[in-house]
Amino acid sequence: MRLVLVGPPGAGKGTQAQFIASNLSIPKISTGDIFRANVSGGTELGRIAKEYMDRGDLVPDEVTIAMVRDRLSESDAQDGFLLDGFPRNVPQAEILKKMLSEFGAALDVVLELVVDDEEVVRRLAGRRTCGQCGRIWHVDFDDKKDDVCDVCGGRLYQREDDSEETVRHRLEVYQEQTAPLVSFYADESLLVGVDATGPVEEITQRAMEALRPFAD
């Protein structure tokens, strides 16, 4: 199965990507993994990407696309893959479509993890990090009432990334980029949405059921 996974920050996309890919016996291909593999492998593309990352700049689309193309050409990706983090926008989706058709292939399905904004804010803005051991606690899920780490006694704080304002901003950016991508795939009749609230195993189960009609 050739599958793209999309979902907002805080949807548990990384975790689901891993479980779904392993259930389907296909490689999970995330842009983060591809970047790291190219940089640590010392490839030409990795060297170029690293220059941008070291300056704190975004890696240009052409470089990302070339890395994705290389990765999708590898033998383990010939019978299927789960893409996580690519495509990020409609132009990338169009390039992916063209790339796959050159390989004589096409996407089977795009799975969207659906979580409403307030749930994302509750999940992310409820996180507290221990300043001493780095463990993350959650005010609701761990029923954390005080600001002391139960493991090491360190003081808990809220990371800037987890502040409600930052979380809402990240959601806005996500909606801006991804809403057009989601409607692009809806128009291509490839989009399937799955409710991504509740226990992790239940979400995986729901996803597997939603994907069943697309399995070979």
Annotated catalytic residue: which of 13, 28, 122, 128? 13
**Smallest distance, Å, CB 143 to Zn ion?**
17
Annotated catalytic residue: which of 50, 69, 88, 135? 88
Residues within the interface to Zn ion (CB under 5 A): 130, 132-133, 135, 149, 151-152, 154
120 annotated ligand-binding residue: no
Choice between 139 and 186, CB closer to Zn ion: 139
Choice between 82 and 149, CB closer to Zn ion: 149
13 an active-site residue? yes
14 annotated ligand-binding residue: yes
2 an active-site residue? no
Question: How far apart, in Å, are the Cα atoms of 117 and each of 14, 123, 159?
Answer: 18, 10, 19
Distance (Å, whole) CA 190 – CA 202 = 23
**Is there a contact between 52 and 59 (Cβ–Cβ < 8 Å)?**
yes
**Smallest distance, Å, CB 147 to Zn ion?**
11
129 annotated ligand-binding residue: no
50 an active-site residue? no
Binding positions for ATP: 10-15, 127, 198
Binding positions for AMP: 31, 36, 57-59, 85-88, 92, 159, 170
Task: List, by residue number, the catalytic residues.
Answer: 13, 88, 127, 159, 170
